[in-house]
Structure 1
Amino acid sequence: MKKESISFLLFVDGNEAYLPVWLQSIKEQDYPQTETIVVTKSPLAHLEALQKQYSFTVLLTKGASRATQHELALAKASGTFVSFLYPTCGLVKDALKLVTPCLNEHPVDAVFSRFALLEQGLFNFYKQYLGIEEVNRDNYYYYLKSNAEFRTLAGKIIRTSLAKNLDYRQSDQAILEQLVAQEATVIWNSDQFFFWNLDLKPLPEFNGEAVTLHPRVLERLPLEPSDKISDTISILLCVDDNYCQKIAPLLSSLGRTTKQQVDCYLVYYELSAASLAFVVKLGNYLSNVKLIPTKISEWQHEQLQSFSMKNNKLPLAAYYRLLAAELLPNLNRVLYLDIDMLVNSSIEALWQTELGSNVIGACRDLAFTDHKDSWSYQLLEEQGGNYFNSGLLLFNLEAMRKYKIVERFIEFIQATANVYLLGDQDAFNLFFINNTKLLPAKYNTILGYIDQSQIEQPAIIHYCGFEWLKPWRITAPVAQVKLKWLNTYRQVNRRILGQVETKPLVSLIIPQLPNDSVAAFRKCESLLMQTYPQIELIIPASEQVDYLKANAGANIQINLAAGGASLETMIASAGGEYLFFLNGPHYFKEADALTKIMELALNYRSDLVLTHYLKLIKRGKDTILLGPDESKSFLDINLLSSEDIWREHVRKFSSLNGLLVNKHLVGELTKVQTVQALYQQIFNKAQAKFYLDDSLWIEVTN
């Protein structure tokens, strides 16, 4: 591989004592194409001795200004690239070996890299390598704010032809800004090629007043208020197969609270036959909500795939909303909603809100705007109090088409993607900073902040943010108002799923609930989060019963067993067509655990389903989660030899836990003395037997 030549410019500035260290660090680099120029305003005291040991030339610049020093040094440099070194900055070991790919594998004009820090004789290296990112006019400002390395020439590697055209009369920050302004190819590498000596000088501070390059956001547009807002509410949802399974609560609550006709556009790229069938069933149930599947094109999908946002965890489907103006050419406005929302009151007033001369309407993200040390103020500075959550967006599609905003916004996101903390939400806030109407916060009430937001009557609850505050996850004990809305969502979900498709009742046999309060709460959560729409809980009286009754809703029946009731008595009292056993502290791992088990039982007319599990082992305050590999598939046990059955599967099940049984199997069983014996009778009597190799519940052991 051809290596580009580098000229190192060492500016002594009266610190001759550091010169041997610099020269030695350059000599030790495994990089043959270098030259070293020592720039000094006064003769060097030990020049002859140094030149015997190291190869370098001296440039004497007596009386020259700092700018002139740099210009003279650059005129003398013969390398393709130059690198600036000062008393505060030096090369780390193997630096040039690391920098070679940057110079040879990328068409690059300048390399900026993170400093290792030297303090009190100790080096501190930043351990996380984030790769190579391109710096441009739109993202430069945020790199500059976040990284002191953008404020000093020290340690920069710049193409010599460009370096010679910079104005060195300005500050270092301004000099480097010239490179970006000239649209040079500047890359930021989070690896560490140079160190900064904090004992000599602190890292340079950010000078915001000196910045001339700011992101090219959308200017204030001269928009006229809309003449007519349609009576039909147009909603935009973006879905894939995963999201499609979670749209029922939002759509059901939307139809229940809103009297106007609602046209709901489901934007997707690919959906399975099962997802499309579910959409059809759901659409048949909803009376005033019309579902309109809207497929994005291949080239639009490829365009969105080019996004590569650091710190972004959203699936690609979340970005379909960027194409709203193109996908819905006959609409002049649309209301985008995130899937993880629940509508609590009519949105008719929201829909009729006049945006005036704005392109979008959105609600403040109070978790950020209420705190001046938060990310929103770092991103938007003095306008940080206007930072909004992008889970609800009222789009002026007419304006977006007229001013070709979609194309401009996508270009902006692609240019700035690596500087965001919260993905395209930050991009929306930044790009539309001059064109956003703030809507009442009640229309996007974040569950994680609901107990601090002082919103008495939330119109829309948004289950975003913390993963443990999702209705389909087991949550920790939290404020009562949060538990209320978590369980409201779950109840709505079970209710509509039960109305869309009739399912047989499943009785969960739970002879004993855990005594430990944390384990008991976790167990209750795992039951309440189940999406299966027809459940009967057969449980003994305990402290948890009141909580279960208050939050179960109509689709979970609670059947209290008499104190000391036997397992046979509990089975006999079950009203379900199927029984599922999950005793003691053991709990469901996933919200759709029972749904998956029942799908297998119904699709294959199974009498018996054995299920895979993980093992949670408690060791004092620590817990360990163990489990073998799983295939996520199922096995027909009748196709296995009896020896294989026992060795690979049945042997694992020494109790009834995790077992789904058609109730007819236990209707005529003889009385048994042990659970193991009952299990053996059920297994022997079952005709259609399956093993589901998917960890759907967790066994808790001490």
Structure 2
Amino acid sequence: MNLFLTFDRNYTQHAVVMLRSLFDNHSGQRFDLFIYSEDQDEIERLLKKEFHGENFGLSFIDYKYESLPKLTNRYYNENYYKIIYTRLHIGELLPDLDRVLSIDVDIIVNGSIEEFYNTELNEDQLFAGVAEVRKSEFSKFGIHPEHRNSETNFNCGVLLIDLKKWREWGVSEKTTAHIIKNEKILGAPTQDTLNPLYYNNWKIASPKYNLHHFYLLFPFKIKDLPYSLEEVKVATKNPVIIHYTGSMNPWNYLDIHPYRKLYWKYLKRTSFRDYEPIDRNFKNMIIKYRRLLMVKTQKLINGFG
């Protein structure tokens, strides 16, 4: 299986934890990892030492960004826009591949991803992914679709991508033009670029393959989702990929994600095992207890108890 990862040095620990969970849930399975990151020599040494004995190939992407316009949004640093451009030019950066799973590193793999990776994509489908919980609008981009296969976006944190179509459809050129034109109004650049352009070109996958925290912790309207309530309940109880999105991050003490303990389980099997959250104190213990109580009450109200 081919996996595509992008991360900066602040997420190195999480990348190692994610890969530990991946290998532990796929004994003997071969993975070819294609990575863009800072400090490539250091990351290469770390991963080869950390996962010595695992069945994987390791390639680093060295992309020449000089010919592309710099993003001027004050929230983006130089490395961030390089990550965005890498994601949007994935077809040309991996010219010998026809399929890849693009996966964020703030994730724990909790089962086999083989079935998802082998998902059949129709002629008009560029991706397979999981729907966001929140309803989305494209009007700010001047796009007003008459029909969408979901009222919500797909989440770009876990995307199975048809790279052959990506190249044939000229996706890199179209997405680059979109992000430059709309930079000032983008929230999440990759997501706010791929969704408005390809809102009907994705296959809806089970939420168990990208269980981001909105499915677990917040009330939402099932009618806006391309899933039944039962599908969501099954996914929340047996997730294959757990995505620690938003501010709910298990490496912070105040985090109350229901699957936070899984992160720590795999962390303890890495060289980062001695990591301790800096926000652990008596005051935050009280705050955390209150948050857990509030979430439990909300889940009962919404039928997820």
Q: In the aligned structure 1, how far is the partner of 2:88 from the partner of 2:49?
A: 28
Aligned mates of 1:315, 1:377 — CA distance in 2: 24
1:251 corresponds in structure 2 to 19
State whether structure 2 residue 29 is matched by structure 1 residue 265: no
Cα distance in 1 between the residues matched to 2:115 and 2:87:
22
8 Å contact from structure 1 (residues 335, 393) kept in 2: yes
Q: Tell me: higher relative CO, structure 1 or 2? Use CA pairs within 8 A at least 6 residues apart.
A: 2
Structure 1 residues 261 and 447 mapped into 2: Cα distance closer, same or farther (>3 Å)? same
- Residue 426 (structure 1) aligns with: 192
- Equivalent positions of 1:502-517 (< 5 A) are none
Deviations 1:384-407 (A, max 9, x none): 614111111111111122233212
* 3-state SS in 2 of match to 1:336: strand
Gaps of 5+ in 1: 1-232, 370-374, 525-702
Per-residue deviation at 1:417? 2.0
What is the deviation of 1:256? 1.5
Q: How many Å apart are 1:344 and its aligned residue?
A: 0.7
Q: Does 2:232 align with 1:458?
A: no
Change over 3 Å in CA distance of 1:519–1:241 after alignment to 2: closer
CA distance in 2 between partners of 1:246 and 1:377 (Å): 32
Number of residue pairs matched? 262
**Corresponding residue of 2:292:** none
Query: 1:442 touches 1:458 (CA, 8 Å); kept in 2?
Result: yes
1:247–1:317 distance in 2 versus 1, CA, 3 Å: farther
Q: Which of the pair is proportionally richer in strand?
A: 1
Query: Which whole-Å CA distance do the structure 2 matches of 1:362 and 1:401 have between them?
Result: 19
Provide Cα deviations, 1:461-488, integer angstroms capped at 9, x if missing partner: 111112xx11222315x4xxx2x41222
Instruction: Provide, for residues 574-598 of structure 1, a one-character-per-residue CA deviation record: whole Å limited to 9, x for no partner.
Output: xxxxxxxxxxxxxxxxxxxxxxxxx
Q: Which structure 2 residue ranges, 5 or more long, are not aligned? A: 219-231, 290-305
Task: For residue 264 of structure 1, report the CA deviation from its aligned partner.
Answer: 1.3
CA distance in structure 2 between the aligned counterparts of 1:376 and 1:492, rounded to whole angstroms: 38
Instruction: Choose which of 271, 295, 315 in structure 1 pairs with 2:80.
Output: 315
CA shift for structure 1 position 332? 0.4
Identical-residue share of aligned pairs (%): 25
1:345 Cα deviation (Å)?
Answer: 1.0
Partners of 1:387 and 1:523 lie apart in 2 by 31
The match for 2:202 is 436
Aligned counterparts of 1:307 and 1:333: Cα–Cα separation in 2: 28
Higher Rg of the two aligned structures: 1
- Within-5 A mapping of 1:106-125: none
Task: Quickly say closer, same or farther: Cα 1:279–1:317, change in 2 above 3 A.
Answer: farther
In the alignment, structure 1 residue 292 sits paired with structure 2 residue 69: no
User: Which residue does 2:98 correspond to in 1?
Assistant: 332
Contact kept, 8 Å, 1:266 with 1:293, in 2: the verdict is yes
Q: Distance in 2 between matches of 1:404 and 1:426?
A: 18
Say whether the 8 Å CA contact 1:236–1:264 is kept in structure 2. Answer: yes
Q: CA deviation at 1:378?
A: 5.7
**C-alpha contact 1:312 1:422 (8 A) present in aligned 2:** no
The corresponding residue for 1:391 is: 157
CA separation in 2, counterparts of 1:312 and 1:475?
Answer: 27
User: Which string of whole-angstrom CA distances, capped at 9 and with x for unpartnered residues, describes residues 250-275 of structure 1?
Assistant: 1111112224321111123x416533
Deviations 1:224-263 (A, max 9, x none): xxxxxxxxx1100013333333211111111122243211
Q: Which amino acid aligns with 2:259?
A: W
One of 271, 283, 298 as aligned partner of 1:497: 271
RMSD of Structure 2 on Structure 1 (CA): 3.2
- The equivalent residue for 1:234 is 2
SS at match of 1:284: coil
- Alignment of 1:475 onto 2:254: yes
Query: Which of 439-448 and 413-422 deviates more?
Result: 413-422
Specify the alignment match of 2:48 in structure 1.
280
Partner SS state of residue 393, structure 1: strand
d(CA) in 2 for partners of 1:295 and 1:475?
35
Secondary structure of 2:11 counterpart: helix
Equivalent position SS for 1:497? coil
CA contact (8 A) 2:254 2:288 kept: no
Q: Is the 8 A contact 1:342 1:462 kept in 2?
A: yes
Find the partner of 1:363 among 113, 130, 148. Answer: 130
Which secondary structure does the structure 1 equivalent of 2:32 belong to?
A: strand
| Matches of 2:272 and 2:87, distance apart in 1 | 30
1:2-52 deviation per Cα after TM superposition (whole angstroms, max 9, x unaligned): xxxxxxxxxxxxxxxxxxxxxxxxxxxxxxxxxxxxxxxxxxxxxxxxxxx
Alpha-carbon distance between aligned partners in 2 of 1:520 and 1:306, rounded to the nearest angstrom: 43
Question: C-alpha displacement at 1:305, in angstroms?
Answer: 5.7
- CA 1:341 to 1:317, structure 2 compared with 1: closer, same or farther past 3 Å? farther
